Structure 1
Amino acid sequence: MALPVGTGWLLHHGRDRPDDALLAVLHRQLPETGSVWLAVQPPVRITADATVAVIGALLGGPPHDVTGVRLIGSGSAAPGPASPVGTLAARLGVDVLVPTGSLLFGPDGSLFVHGRAAGADWRRFRADGRHDDLGSRLPAPAWDGAARLAAASRLPAAAVAEEIPAGLWLRSVPQDQADLGDLAYAIPATGDRLRVLLGDAGTGHGRVPVDAVCALLRALPVAVRRQAELLPYGDPAGGPDLAAAVAAELGEPVLVGCGVPTVERSGARSRRWVSARGEPTWEPFGRLLRFQPGSAEPELVEAVPPVTGWPAAPGLSSWPLVPGWQVDALPGGLWVRGAPALRTAGPPECTAVDPDRVVVVVGAPDVAVPSAVWSAVAALLSRLPVPARQRARVVVPQPALGGPDLAVLAGWPVETLRS
C-alpha cells in the first residue's frame, strides 16, 4: 500500500507497521518543486516498469509533471549502464537520485550512504543515460567532498579513517564489520563544520596517535581544516593533551568539542560525554575549546547555562550567583568563584573531564567562601539537569580559609583537593 508522508510516499506491505525512523525522515524532507520522494519498506531492487506505474498511479495519471525522483532504500541502484534506475530515468525523462549502499537515517532528517570502500554513495541517473556520483550525504554539507578525499588519504599504519554522517572517524584499530548501531553513526552533521571523531568508545582503544590526527587534518583543505572540530570518543580525559600536541604540530589553532553531539527525540540538539564503556552520560556546560599553538590553556569559545532559565548567548560562559561571586562553565563541570578582581591564576587543577563525574569547584586556595555562597551552591546543585545532578561532586581546593558548610550541603558528596 502507498502511504503519503510529507513530500513523498512510503510503499509498504499493509500487514507491516511502517518503520518509525523512515517515517521521521520522510516528514523532515524539504519540498522541492516537481521532485517526488519514494521510499520502499522493506527495501527492494527497483524495476523501471513498476516505478513508472507507481508514480503514475500516485499522481492520478502519467507522471508528466514530475521533474525529479528520489528513491529511499538501501542499495536501490545497481551500478553500471544497465541499471534499472538508469532505465527509469530515461522512461520518465527526469533525473533519478538513488543510494548505492546501506542507507542510514539521521534523526535530523539527513540521509547517509555507508560503504565508501565499495563505492557506495548517492548516484544521480540522468535521462540521457549519464550518471554522477554525488557523495555520501544528503543534503550535502560544504565539506562533503573534502571528507571523501581525506578518508582515502594515506595515514600512518597505526590508524584508519572512515566516513560517518558527521564527517570522519579516526581509530587506531579497524573494524572487521561496521556496527551501524554505534553512536558514532548518529552524530548529526553541520553544514559549516566537519567533525573528526577520535578513538573508539567501549573497545579499550580510545586513543589515536598524534601523527595520525595531523595527517588526516592535513589531507583537508585549509578552510575546512580550520573549522574542523575534534571529538574525543572513548578517552575524553586525554583530549586536551592530544589537542595541544596537534595544535603545536600543525602550527595553527585546533577546535575540540566537549561531548558527542546528539539529536533528541524532540529534534533538539545536545551533547553528551561518552564513557569508556560507550555509554552517553551527562551534558557538558563548556561545549567547545580552542587550542592555540604554544598556549598552556585552551580558550572556552562556546558554553550553555547549567540551569534552565539562565541567559544563553554566544560567548557567554559565566553567570552571577550571589553578589561578588559567579559560576563559570567548564568542560568537566562548573567553577564557583569570586568576581574577576578576586580571581587567582586560573581554574584549580581539578577540572579534568570524567564522563561519570560532574565536578563543581567552589572557591580557590586561600580564598574564604561566605556562607551565602554555600547556600547558593546547594540551590544550584538541586537545579542541575538530572544526569548532571546524579553525578555532581563538590570539590574544595586546599588550603581553604574555612571549610565547606556541610550542613547546607547535606546529601551532596564533598571532596577536598590539595594544591
Structure 2
Amino acid sequence: MSDPAVIVVAGVAGTGKSTLGRALATRLRMPLLDLDAVTNPLLDALPASVFDGHWLSSPLAGAVRSGRYAALRAVAADAVATAGGAVLVAPFTAELRGGAEWGALVAAVAPVPVRVVHLTGDAGLLAARRGLRGEERDAHRPEVEPLPPAVPVIPIDAELTTTQQLLRLLPALGVRTEVDASAPLFARDFDAVLFDLDGTLIDSTASVNRSWRRFAEHYAVSAEALHANHGQPARVLISKLLPSELHEEGLARVTSLEVDDAVDLEPIRGAHDFFQSVPAGRRAIVTSGSVPIATARLASAGFAQPDVFVTADDVTRGKPDPEPFLTAAARLGVDPARCLVVEDAVAGIAAARAAGCAVLAITGTVEASALPGDVVVDGLDRIALEVDGGVLRLRAVV
C-alpha cells in the first residue's frame, strides 16, 4: 500500500482470518501480528490451576482477554513505529462495537488509520471448519452471537477462497492492478457488448460457492470437481457429478438453493455504471445460469433485465461452446467479430474466443494470470465506454 495503515482482519473462529491475514501481509509486505501467535504460547504453557480451567472459559476469562489485547496493541504500536503499519488478526469482537476497546486500538497505532476487514460465514461452514482443525481451544469458546459491527468495515465472505477474498479486498484497500492503456483493444470499434452475469456484473461468487457446497454435501460429491468446472451450465456439471437417475432431482435442488441464496447481492465494482453506459439496444447478458437463478440475482443486485437475455435455457450447448455468445449476437443483429465480451471465467472466455469476440476479462473468481483476455481489469470502474458515431469504444480509466 502506498499509504501506511493498520489493517485489522476480524471474524469469529473458523472464518479463516489467520489464513487471509497471512496472505494479505505477504502480498502487502507488512508485518503480521496474530493475537493467537502473540499470546497463546504463554497462556497454554501455564498450568490450568492458574485459571481454574482453560483460560478461554475460566472465571478470569475477562481479565485474560484484556491482557491479550493489551499485548497485541503494544506489539502493533511497535510495528507502526518501525515498519509503518501491520496486519492484525484477532476476533476483535468488542473492538468492532466501537466503544472503549475500539478507542484503545485506534489510540495505540495513531496517527496511522485503522482499516477493518470483517469475515463472516455460514454457521454450518464455520462449525465444520472448526471440527476439521481439531483445536482444543475451540471446545472452550463461549457460544456468543456476535453483534453487527458498529465501525466501518470491508465485508468479506468466508465462503470465498483466499484468492477470491484477496481479489476483492485489495481494490477495496486501494491496491489496484494497472490497466495497459496502449492495448490494441482500446483502438477497436464495437457494435455491442455481451456481458456474463455471475462474477462479471454481480458479485455472486460466494452465493454460488455456498449453494454448490450445500449441494455437494447433500450428494457427497467432490468439492474439487465443482471448482474445476466453474462457468459451465448446472445441467452439464450435474451430469458429471451424479448418476443419470438423479440429474433432474439434482438440477431442481441446486436451482432452489441458488434462488433462495440470491439475497442482498452487490454489483461488481463499477459494473452498474459500465452496464448502463452501453445503449440498451447494444447490450446483452449471456449467462450459464437458468432463468429463475439469473432473474433472482439481477433483481437482488438492482439490475433491470435486458432486452437480450441468453440463459442456459436458450441453448443446447453451454460455455465453453460459443453457442451462447453467437445466440446473443444474432438476437442483437450484429457480427460476433464486432462484439466485446466481458467475462470472469475461463470457460466463458473460451466460448467468447470461439465465437470470434474480443474479451475484456475481470478478476474476482480467478487471478489475472489465468484469464486470457485482451485486457484484464480488477473492476469495471477501470474502463469507460464511449459512443462515437454509432460505434462503441473503450477507454482506460487510470
Q: Which has the higher contact order (CA 8 A, sep 6+)?
A: 2
- Tell me the TM-score normalized by structure 1: 0.32
Q: Which has the higher strand share?
A: 1
- Tell me the TM-score normalized by structure 2: 0.33
Q: Which has the higher helix share?
A: 2
Which structure would you say has the larger Rg? Answer: 1
